[in-house]
Amino acid sequence: MKAKDSMMHHDGLIFGAQARTALAALAVVSLPLVGLNACADDGGEDDEVGESTGDTADTTTDTTDTTDTTDATETETETDAESETTGEPEDPSPEFENPPEIVSEGGVLMGAMEVLYADNTVVINPTEGGEVTTLDIYTRTYNGSVPGPTLRLSPSDMIDLDFINSLPENADADTPVENHNWPHRLNSTNFHLHGFHVEPTGNADNVLRVINPGVTVPIAMDVPANHNPGSHWYHGHKHGSLLIQFYGGMSGMIVVEGDLDEVPEVAAAEEKIMIIQELGLNDAGEVPEPNLDAQTAADLFDITQQLFPVSGKVNPIIRMAPGEVQRWRLLNSTTASIMNVELDAHDLHVIAEDGITYDAMDTVGALQMAPGDRADVLIQAGAPGTYLLSSPMGMPMPGMEPESQVLATLIVEGEAVDMGLPSDLPEPDYILPDTSAETPDEVYSISFENGMEPGVFTISGDAYDPSCYNYILQRGDVVDWEITNNAGMGAHPFHIHTNAFQVLEINGMPESPARWQDVVPVLGNGGSVRVRMRVDDFVGGILLHCHITTHEELGMMHKLVIVDDTIPEADKVPADEVDLSDPADFNPDIPGYYVSENFNLCN
């Protein structure tokens, strides 16, 4: 125990210093955004920050072996650095703040995404009034912040990020993985762009490769010119470490700008990036190690503090003038909450869902959002007063509705302003034309099921098996998925990568309009959903799964490969010519490799 503790302490100091370097750099990036809302850092400033915080990092590393004195020095340095770069007062502010941003410039989104342990302070604004408190946490993060920085780009841009895994070595690095559907290799990761229609292979949206601690790789891809503008999501997707990385706050938003943002009423609305996360912590403010001997999913993590912060603060305060319209980009980044979002005395004017613009604004009193769902919502402030944004939060349990919790507080105050809601939205520039009148080439009927043993979740009786593929799809085909929920009373949200789908039927009833989404909840007690997708543009290995992270991690996930058997014989690459000995190379960017003869079906 003792040896392990001191090692963790050692890591903490080193990685804490790195976190501050990253944070300081990001603070510079985010500063101009307060006024401009879209602006990149300039290289000069960035370099300066790099130099000055480089000194801090050295000092901290040198004094690693001393004890309390080091901590004190470290804290002081941190406070100084923060007040210098951001000018923030020392009192915790409950006011809502957008996360830092990395913004594309000249058509390229460049920068570093570093996964590292970092200290953060979560501001907690109590729902019943009273003093604002803080909670110090120490978790795996992107670039040191919770949530990670917002990535902002446009269609046709290139993404070219340096992805650095600075987590410590895996404790189980030298032992073979006995059960892939149980937490393992907790510090390995990869990078998923949820909702993106891009290459799923190589350095792009590749969720099958493994990025181990100490490894730096590029995250690089072309964003198609006709990509939907909208709100998307990034997070790790390495099977076996996703859940624990979520619990520490490892997720962020990707904003694709476009024609929706140019609608005058939308352009005039102040934008709020509202990432609803779920932190699963112990009393020390750290994500507990999993109990690998647990018999059920519920016993896997000894979580004593469960928080649902919105962009890093619990119940932040949002201020609006009467009549003002704001655009809230809501993202359900929790592990298990089927949210039903409501704002006291206010309608929610939904203009996009899952990053896809609606045909017309849809005004609702409450909005269902499964884990992974995004909603772009316009809010028009009513009379002066205080209003709560709330939703049931937490894992749905048999016979029990999760308790409603306050997510944020809206204070309407000041002089009234005259703003409007849009009467027209731009024609959604779908990558995929409407599929509802087409005849599917393939129909897959699948079912969410509990495994025979506790702690096992399956799709159609088969838990995730990394050694084979559950489905082989042909590029260009139209595919229907009929999903039934045979796993009890709770809903299970269905998600598939790379291609969005149209929701045609829910519980046997046709949906009108048949909206495009990338997550759809399949209700409990035998609920069903029928969706249709066109398997367009890209080949490669992808995943479909339940987006309740615990279920996914414990087996409720299947692997697919999109192939193109119509390519010329000469372009085909035989499997034995592809070197997959290093997990970093899984799912390579070799188009000729993706022909059905190279892949084995699970059954």
Q: Which residues of this chain interact with Cu ion, rule CB under 5 A?
A: 492, 546, 548, 551
Using the minimum distance from each CB to Cu ion, give the nearer residue, 15 or 301.
301
Using the minimum distance from each CB to Cu ion, give the nearer residue, 223 or 548.
548
Contact 310, 341 (CB under 8 A): no
Which residue bears the tokens 């690089």?
Answer: 220
Spatial separation of the C-alpha atoms in residues 226 and 152, rounded to whole Å = 16
Spatial separation of the C-alpha atoms in residues 70 and 12, rounded to whole Å = 12
Smallest gap from Cβ 487 to Cu ion, in A, equals 7
Using the minimum distance from each CB to Cu ion, give the nearer residue, 435 or 458.
458
Using the minimum distance from each CB to Cu ion, give the nearer residue, 239 or 492.
492
Smallest gap from Cβ 521 to Cu ion, in A, equals 9
Using the minimum distance from each CB to Cu ion, give the nearer residue, 475 or 551.
551
Beta partners for 194?
233
**271-301 per-residue burial string, b: 16 or more CB within 10 A, e: under 16:** bbbbbbbbbbbeeebbbbebeeebeebeebb
Q: Which two tokens stand for residue 345?
A: 């005395």
CB contact set of 468 (below 8 Å; sequence gap of 6+)? 559, 600, 601, 602
Detail the DSSP E strand segments found in 23-72: none
Element (H, E) at 192: strand 192-194
Smallest gap from Cβ 397 to Cu ion, in A, equals 13
Smallest gap from Cβ 200 to Cu ion, in A, equals 22
Smallest gap from Cβ 546 to Cu ion, in A, equals 3
Using the minimum distance from each CB to Cu ion, give the nearer residue, 116 or 483.
483
Determine the distance from the C-alpha atom of residue 588 to the mean position of all C-alpha atoms in its chain, rounded to a whole number: 23
Using the minimum distance from each CB to Cu ion, give the nearer residue, 387 or 494.
494
CB contact set of 254 (below 8 Å; sequence gap of 6+)? 150, 151, 152, 153, 193, 195, 196, 231, 232, 233, 234
Spatial separation of the C-alpha atoms in residues 145 and 252, rounded to whole Å = 10
**Three-state DSSP class for 52?**
helix
Smallest gap from Cβ 445 to Cu ion, in A, equals 17
Smallest gap from Cβ 171 to Cu ion, in A, equals 28
Smallest gap from Cβ 233 to Cu ion, in A, equals 18
Element (H, E) at 453: none
Q: What is the dihedral of CA 281, 285, 289, 295, to 10 degrees?
A: -30
- Residue 569 phi, psi (nearest 5): -50, -40
Using the minimum distance from each CB to Cu ion, give the nearer residue, 255 or 548.
548
Spatial separation of the C-alpha atoms in residues 451 and 527, rounded to whole Å = 18
Q: Which two tokens stand for residue 67?
A: 């004890």
Using the minimum distance from each CB to Cu ion, give the nearer residue, 531 or 546.
546
Smallest gap from Cβ 340 to Cu ion, in A, equals 17
CB contact set of 565 (below 8 Å; sequence gap of 6+)? 474, 595, 596
Using the minimum distance from each CB to Cu ion, give the nearer residue, 524 or 540.
524
Using the minimum distance from each CB to Cu ion, give the nearer residue, 154 or 450.
450
Spatial separation of the C-alpha atoms in residues 257 and 154, rounded to whole Å = 5
Burial of 585 (0-12, 13-18, 19+ CB in 10 A): middle
Using the minimum distance from each CB to Cu ion, give the nearer residue, 152 or 492.
492
Contact 219, 591 (CB under 8 A): no
Q: Which two tokens stand for residue 401?
A: 């509705």
Smallest gap from Cβ 449 to Cu ion, in A, equals 10
Spatial separation of the C-alpha atoms in residues 456 and 546, rounded to whole Å = 13
Using the minimum distance from each CB to Cu ion, give the nearer residue, 19 or 370.
370
Burial of 117 (0-12, 13-18, 19+ CB in 10 A): buried
**Three-state DSSP class for 317?**
strand
- AA letter at 71: D
Smallest gap from Cβ 556 to Cu ion, in A, equals 5
Smallest gap from Cβ 306 to Cu ion, in A, equals 18
Smallest gap from Cβ 550 to Cu ion, in A, equals 8
